[in-house]
Structure 1
Amino acid sequence: MSLNEVWEAASKTPFTPLVPKESQFSVGFNLLLCGKVSLLRSLSPWVFLPPYFSGESCWPGLGILGILIFGGLSFGAVFMICAAGVYV
């Protein structure tokens, strides 16, 4: 299959994003908010008393929690950039 055939086949099926343009702002804002709240809860457990710092937490669990927090923050930032009109 040549590049020209691939180009023609791709033109018949336009790209439709998973999250529509109209809701990218709300999805990005919610991801950023959830990531920030989770980050604050994990940094200051004596203020918010989250359940995952009940004294029975383990290091792998905290690593997984960190991956989820920063995943939410980074995907939220990309969605907010896309909602503002800049495509990444």
Structure 2
Amino acid sequence: MSASPLHDIWEASASQPFRPTIGKGAQFTVGFTLLLIALVLSGLFDNSLKNLPVYGIPASVAFG
């Protein structure tokens, strides 16, 4: 009886520990900064189409 594909992936990744792009110590700072930027940009957005690429899109990306 062979192991399941998920078990094979689990075993193959055992020698490669997960290393996040943003370290645990910096996650709060990065998250708070993005939230602050999103709030400022969404406050500057006044619902006109000419401001959409300047304020609306970057604000929604920062919120995301």
* TM-score, normalization by structure 1: 0.55
How far the C-alpha of 1:61 sits from its partner, in A, is 5.8
Q: Does residue 52 of structure 2 align to residue 68 of structure 1?
A: no
Largest Rg, 1 or 2: 2
The counterpart of 1:20, out of the listed 23, 32, 36, is 23
The answer as to whether partners of 2:38 and 2:62 remain within 8 angstroms in 1 is yes
Could you tell me which runs of 5 or more consecutive residues in structure 2 were left unpaired when the two chains were aligned. Answer: none
Q: Does residue 23 of structure 2 align to residue 33 of structure 1?
A: no
How far the C-alpha of 1:3 sits from its partner, in A, is 3.7
Look up the SS of the partner of 1:14 in the other structure: coil
Q: CA RMSD in A?
A: 2.6
How far the C-alpha of 1:9 sits from its partner, in A, is 1.2
Between the two proteins, what is the percent identity of the paired residues?
34
Between the aligned partners of 1:34 and 1:18, the Cα distance in structure 2 is: 20
Could you tell me which runs of 5 or more consecutive residues in structure 1 were left unpaired when the two chains were aligned. Answer: 44-57, 75-88
* TM-score, normalization by structure 2: 0.72
For CA contacts below 8 A with separation 6 or more, give which structure has more relative contact order. Answer: 1
- Aligned residue type for 1:7: W
